[in-house]
Structure 1
Amino acid sequence: MIRNTYTCGGLFAGIGGFCIGFERQGFNTLWVNDFDDQVARTYAHNFPNIKFIQQDICELDFDNLEPVDVLHAGFPCQSFSQAGNRLGFDDPRGQLFNVMMDKISKSNWKPKVLLFENSTHLKSGGNGDWFRHIKYRIKKAGYWFDEQNAVMVSTHEHAGLPQKRERLFLFATLKSFIGFNPFGEIPTIKKYKKNVEMLDLDIEHEPSYYLSDNNRYGKWILSEGAKMQPGQLIQLRQHMVRPQKENICPTLTANMGLGGHNVPFLIQNGKLRKMTERECLRMQGFPENFNFPDLPGNAKYRMIGNSVSPVVSEKIAGVILGELASQDEFKMRSA
Structure 2
Amino acid sequence: MLNDFATLRVRAGLSLEDAAQLTGYSVRQLQRWEAGVGKPREAAVRVLCSIAGTEPAPLDSRFNFIDLFAGIGGIRKGFDAIGGHCVFTSEWNKFAQETYAANFRDNHPPHGDITQIATDEIPDHDVLLAGFPCQPFSIAGVSKKNSLGRQHGFLDETQGTLFFDVARIIRAKRPAAFLLENVKNLTGHDKGRTFQVILKTLTEELGYTVWHKVIDAQHFVPQHRERIVIVGFREDVPFSWDDLKLPEKGSVRLASILHPENGSERAEAPYTLGPDAKVNGKYTLTDKLWQYLQGYAAKHKAAGNGFGFGLVTPDDVARTLSARYYKDGSEILVSQGSRINPRRLTPRECARLMGYGDDFRIPVSDTQAYKQFGNSVAVPVFEAVANIMQPHIQSLLYPARQQKAA
Does TM, scored on the shorter chain, surpass 0.5? Answer: yes
- Alignment of 1:60 onto 2:146: no
Equivalents in 1 of 2:390, 2:403: separation in Å? 20
Q: TM-score, normalised by structure 1?
A: 0.84
Q: Distance in 2 between matches of 1:131 and 1:250?
A: 25
Query: Percent identical across equivalent pairs?
Result: 26
**Which residue in the other structure is 1:231 paired with?**
none
Q: Where do 5+ consecutive residues of structure 2 fail to align?
A: 1-58, 144-151, 262-276, 299-304
Map of 1:1-335 to 2, 5 A cutoff? Answer: 4-49=61-106, 51-85=108-142, 87-91=152-156, 92-105=158-171, 107=172, 109-139=173-203, 140-145=205-210, 149-157=211-219, 160-174=220-234, 178-180=235-237, 182-185=239-242, 186-190=244-248, 192-202=251-261, 203-217=277-291, 220=294, 239-243=307-311, 246-257=315-326, 259-262=327-330, 264-268=332-336, 270-271=339-340, 272-293=342-363, 295-327=364-396, 331-332=400-401
Which range moves more in the overlay, 95-104 or 76-85?
A: 95-104
More displaced, 35-44 or 50-59?
50-59
Runs of 4+ in 1 over 3 A off after TM superposition: 218-221, 241-246, 326-335
Cα 1:308–1:52 change in 2 (3 A) is farther
Unaligned runs of 5+ in 1: 225-236
| Residues 46, 141 of structure 1: alpha-carbon distance in 2 compared, 3 angstrom cutoff | same
Q: 1:313 to 1:333 in 2, by over 3 A?
A: closer
1:334 positional shift: 5.4
TM-score when normalising by structure 2: 0.70
Question: What residue in structure 2 maps to residue 229 of structure 1?
Answer: none
The structure in which a higher percent of residues are helix is 2
Is the Cα–Cα contact under 8 Å of residues 319 and 331 in structure 2 kept in the other structure? no
Q: Could you report, residue by residue, the CA deviation over 1:118-168 in whole angstroms, capped at 9, with x for unpaired residues? A: 0111112211101110011112123122xxx111112112xx211111100
Between the aligned partners of 2:401 and 2:309, the Cα distance in structure 1 is 59
The alpha-carbon deviation at position 183 of structure 1 amounts to 4.1
Counterpart AA for 1:210 = T
Change (3 A) 1:58 1:193: same
Instruction: Report deviation, 1:298.
Output: 1.2
Alpha-carbon distance change, 333 to 252 in structure 1, aligned in 2, over 3 angstroms: closer
**Is the strand fraction higher in 1 or 2?**
1
Alpha-carbon distance in 2 for matches of 1:320, 1:326: 10
Q: Indicate if the aligned counterparts of 2:130 and 2:166 stay in contact, CA closer than 8 A.
A: no
- Mapped partners of 2:328, 2:351: distance in 1: 19
In the aligned structure 2, how far is the partner of 1:50 from the partner of 1:310? 23
